[in-house]
Amino acid sequence: MKAFTYQRARTPAEAAAAAVSHPGARFVAGGTNLLDLMKLEIETPPHLIDINHLGLDRIEAAPGGGLRIGALVRNVDLAANMAVRRDYPVLAGALLAGASAQLRNKATTAGNLLQRTRCPYFYDPDQPCNKRVPGSGCSAIGGYNRNHAIVGTSEACIATHPSDMAVAMQLLDAGVETVRADGATRVIPIADFYRLPGKTPHIEHALHSGELITAVTLPPPLGGYQTYRKVRDRASYAFAPVSVAAVVQRDGSGRVALGGVAHKPRRTAAADAALPRGARAAVDSLLAGATPTQQNAFKIPLVQRTLEAVLADARKGQA
Ligand code: SF4
């Protein structure tokens, strides 16, 4: 691990200012992804800004009937929160499907959103990877790519986003609240938060340098049948080849989002509109233009079958 300096920030504005005055600095809270990346020297921040003591660990009712989730709320606490379990069960389900109990105890809401891909070549400094070293090439294209993306890919990168929670947040139209060093705040709709890889797969989200996530907001509850179904190679502590988050109302209308298939959670307005016509119609939109590899073409029928199962469960749950 490379040497680094450390500071404990006292306020969100102080943390954001410290990030600006220390180019290359990183915020650290749970550290469940960052510390691994530092040990492998994939991330080599010269300065760490500890944000654990900023008081951003509350879950509060938001004006208008939604929920405001502090950036430092631990995944375990968010999944167990009564308002989340009652009003946003798809979010609770996604959180409990992620990682392991030990990791959920440490991982935070903001950190979960910002975790990096689990593409094995990204974690191997001996292999070319455009996301780790821009312009070096992509070892997954033509390499081992069973778990990689099938839609929204580019010639530079075919990685997936690993977060389960982010898929539920995309489904729920969450907003990402931030603060900058000058004290300016904004809310980034989650639909605009993540980027597709394009030619710059190392740029993954809309945050500016030094911009700190302070909270994630949820609109008022949607009701309906909500579920997060994750298909994986083992029952725990595994990333999703495919996952489906859905809200289905009694009349068959609803929303659907996918994990494990793209560089960011996958959701389209056309798929939501097509949901009453069934899984096939929704998947046709969600996976339009898919370019799977030989190794991961199985994800297309797997998405189809998983959404069919979710819709069948929704019908049973509402019977
Ligand atoms: Fe790197 Fe992306 Fe290629 Fe994986 S898929 S090797 S993260 S450029």
Q: What is the pLDDT of residue 318?
A: 78
C-beta separation of 263 from 153 below 8 A? yes
Residue entry with tokens 């302070």: 214
Cβ–ligand 1 distance for 158 under 6 Å, the answer: yes
Cβ–ligand 1 distance for 140 under 6 Å, the answer: yes
Crossing angle of the two packed helices 299-317 and 279-286, in degrees rounded to 10 = 140
Compute the distance between CA of residue 59 and CA of residue 230 in angstroms, rounded to an integer. 26
Q: By C-alpha distance, which of 268, 122, 154, 37 is closest to 28?
A: 37
- Residues 279-297: tens digit of each pLDDT: 999 999 999 999 999 999 9
3-class DSSP string for the chain? CCCCEEEECCCHHHHHHHHHHCCCCEEECCCCCHHHHHHCCCCCCCEEEECCCCCCCCEEECCCCCEEEECCCEHHHHHHCHHHHHHCHHHHHHHHHCCCHHHHHHCEHHHHHHCCCCCCCCCCCCCCECCCCCCCCECCCCCCCCCCCCCCCCCCCCCCCCCCHHHHHHHCCCEEEEECCCCCEEEEEHHHHECCCCCCCCCCECCCCCCEEEEEEECCCCCCEEEEEEECCCCCCCCCCEEEEEEECCCCCEEEEEECCCCCCECCHHHHHHHHHCHHHHHHHHCCCCCCCCCCCCHHHHHHHHHHHHHHHHHHHCC
Amino acid at 280: R
Cβ–ligand 1 distance for 159 under 6 Å, the answer: yes
pTM for the predicted model, two decimal places? 0.97
Q: What is the pLDDT of residue 196?
A: 98
Nearest CA to ligand 1 atom 2: 157
Q: What is the pLDDT of residue 238?
A: 85
Q: What is the pLDDT of residue 203?
A: 97
Q: What is the pLDDT of residue 234?
A: 87
Q: By C-alpha distance, which of 229, 234, 286 is closest to 261?
A: 286
Cβ–ligand 1 distance for 114 under 6 Å, the answer: no
Residue 306 alpha carbon to ligand 1 centre in Å: 26
Nearest CA to ligand 1 atom 1: 129
C-beta separation of 266 from 151 below 8 A? yes
Work out which ligand 1 atom sits closest to the CA atom of 156: 8
C-beta separation of 285 from 265 below 8 A? no
- Residues 119-174: tens digit of each pLDDT: 999 999 999 999 999 999 999 999 999 999 999 999 999 999 999 999 999 999 99
| Residue to mutate, 150, 157, 160, 195, ligand 1, most ligand atoms under 8 Å from C-beta | 157
Cβ–ligand 1 distance for 139 under 6 Å, the answer: yes
Cβ neighbours around 136 below 10 Å, total: 12
For the record, the structure tokens of 108 come out as 């935070």
Work out which ligand 1 atom sits closest to the CA atom of 132: 1
Nearest CA to ligand 1 atom 3: 138
The CA-based angle 140-205-135, given to 5 degrees, is 40
Give per-10-residue mean pLDDT for the chain (319 aa).
97 95 97 96 97 98 96 98 98 96 96 97 97 98 98 98 98 97 95 98 96 98 97 87 97 97 98 97 98 98 98 88
